[in-house]
A and B are shown apart, each in its own frame.
Chain A
Amino acid sequence: QVQLVQSGTEVQKPGASVKVSCKASGYTFTNYYIHWVRQAPGQGLEWMGIINPSIGGTNYALRFEGRVTLTSDTSTDTVYMQLRSLRSEDTAMYYCARGLMDGKVPAVIPPGYWGQGTLVTVSS
């Protein structure tokens, strides 16, 4: 079965960076795009970006452009999300999610399988 297992809770200081991992199993890693979504405490979902794990191609939400980097490691079937210059407003649960299905245009396939989330707290 499809599984996405994310790394554990992080506590970082303002100005630092965080790198969250998302290890995939139960399917062919390179066939499905991975989305990243975050949710601040008590707030709604926010789409951050998407990566093609096969070639590492990415697309980022405008508000994160320049501050977030998505990468993939096909040797370990793992995707990473790095967020830099952290501020208190970045405190949130961060989710990775695999596209629901493969298809001719993977970028239009919505997130279908979700990881358990990684809580990132930014505090001095």
Chain B
Amino acid sequence: QSALTQPASVSGSPGQSITISCTGTTSDVGGYNYVSWYRQHPGKSPQLMIYDVTNRPSGVSNRFSGSKSGNTASLTISGLQTEDEADYYCISYATSGTLWVFGGGTKLTVL
């Protein structure tokens, strides 16, 4: 099972909005509404930001939102803050052998 495709890096200024894409296939992203997004600061464990494409866990800011179109899911962060600078990973439930597959990760830089 190949990793989902994410851009290696994105950047934005404080207050701006950015979107990170996560592209898979009909066997994962396109086939199920079970896409989640994680934020990981250096040296820390990942933190769940979005699950089931659009849902935010309790305590996660509403600046984070998720969507999906076809085989591509997206994470949008509005009103960028310096604390948003981190690595972001998507994950999708999948068939074809491996139950869950991660994206390669995207480094977000807040300029």
Partners in one complex: yes
Binding site for B on A (CB under 8 A): 35, 37, 44-47, 50, 59, 61-63, 95, 97, 100, 107-108, 110-112, 114-117
Whether A45 contacts B51 in the complex (CB less than 8 A), given A35-B100, A62-B98, A114-B45, comes out as no
Q: Which residues of A contact B48 (CB under 8 A)?
A: 100, 110-112
B102: Cβ under 8 A from any A Cβ: yes
Q: Which residues of B contact A62 (CB under 8 A)?
A: 1, 97-98
Q: Which residues of B contact A61 (CB under 8 A)?
A: 1, 97-100
Q: Which residue, A37, A50, A117, has most C-beta atoms of chain B within 10 A?
A: A37
Q: Which residues of A contact B100 (CB under 8 A)?
A: 35, 47, 50, 61, 110
- Interface positions of B from 17 to 59, Cβ below 8 Å from A: 32, 34, 36, 38, 40, 45-48, 51, 57
Who on chain A is nearest to B103 by CB? A44
Q: Which residues of A contact B98 (CB under 8 A)?
A: 47, 61-63
Bound CA span A72–B45, Å: 22
